[in-house]
Structure 1
Amino acid sequence: MSNKISIKSKDDIALMRKAGLLLQATHMVARDLMKPGITTAEINEAVESFITQNGAIALFKGVQGVTPYPAGSCISINDEVVHGIPGSRVLADGDLVSIDIGVKLNGWCSDCACSYGIGEVSNDVQCLLDVTEGCLRIAIDKIKPGVSWRSIATVMADFAQKAGYSVVRDLIGHGIGRELWESPDVPNYSTRAIPDFKLAEGMVIAVEPMINTGTHKIYTKPDHWTICTKDGENSAHFEHTIAITSSGAEVLTCDPDGNGWALN
Structure 2
Amino acid sequence: MKKARGIFLKNEKELGLMREAGRIVSVILDEIGKAVKPGVPTMLFEDIARRMCDEFKVKPAFLGYLGFPFAICCSVNEEIVHGFPSKDRILKEGDIVSIDMGVVFQGFHGDSARTFPVGVVSPVAQRLMDVTRESLELGIAQVRSGANLYDVSAAIQQHCEKAGFGVVRRFVGHGIGVKLHEKPEIPNFVPSGLSGVTLKPGMCLAIEPMITEGSYDVDILEDRWTAVTKDRKLAAHFEHTVAVTHDGPVLMTVSD
TM-score (norm 1): 0.93
Where does residue 166 of structure 2 map in the other structure? 166
Where does residue 196 of structure 1 map in the other structure? 196
Shift of 1:28: 1.1
Where does residue 21 of structure 2 map in the other structure? 19
Tell me the C-alpha RMSD between the 2 structures: 1.2
How far does the alpha carbon of each residue in 1:175-202 deviate from its partner, in whole angstroms, 9 at most, with x for none? 0000100000111110036651111100
How far does the alpha carbon of each residue in 1:22-80 deviate from its partner, in whole angstroms, 9 at most, with x for none? 1111111111110111111111111111012211000111122xxx2111000000000
Where does residue 242 of structure 1 map in the other structure? 242
Where does residue 58 of structure 2 map in the other structure? 56
How far does the alpha carbon of each residue in 1:98-139 deviate from its partner, in whole angstroms, 9 at most, with x for none? 000010011110100000111010100000000000110001
Where does residue 230 of structure 1 map in the other structure? 230
Where does residue 217 of structure 1 map in the other structure? 217
| Same amino acid, percent of matched pairs | 35
Where does residue 178 of structure 1 map in the other structure? 178
Measured in 1, the distance between the counterparts of 2:48 and 2:231 equals 32
Measured in 2, the distance between the counterparts of 1:193 and 1:93 equals 44
How far does the alpha carbon of each residue in 1:182-229 deviate from its partner, in whole angstroms, 9 at most, with x for none? 000111110036651111100001000000000010010001110000
Measured in 1, the distance between the counterparts of 2:34 and 2:194 equals 38
- 2:70 aligned with 1:71: yes
Where does residue 116 of structure 1 map in the other structure? 116
CA contact (8 A) 1:185 1:194 kept: no
| Equivalent residue letter for 1:34 | V
Measured in 1, the distance between the counterparts of 2:186 and 2:228 equals 21
Closer, same or farther: CA 181–187 of 1 in aligned 2, 3 Å: same
Where does residue 81 of structure 2 map in the other structure? 82
Shift of 1:3: 6.5
How far does the alpha carbon of each residue in 1:137-185 deviate from its partner, in whole angstroms, 9 at most, with x for none? 0012121110101122112101100100010001000000001000001
| Equivalent residue letter for 2:69 | P
Measured in 1, the distance between the counterparts of 2:54 and 2:176 equals 21
CA contact (8 A) 1:220 1:227 kept: yes
Structure 1 gaps of 5+ residues are: 257-264
Measured in 2, the distance between the counterparts of 1:193 and 1:174 equals 20
| Equivalent residue letter for 1:85 | F
Q: For residue 206 of structure 1, give the secondary structure of its aligned residue in structure 2.
A: strand
Q: For residue 48 of structure 1, give the secondary structure of its aligned residue in structure 2.
A: helix
Aligned pair count reads 252
User: Displaced runs of 4+ in structure 1, greater than 6 A?
Assistant: none
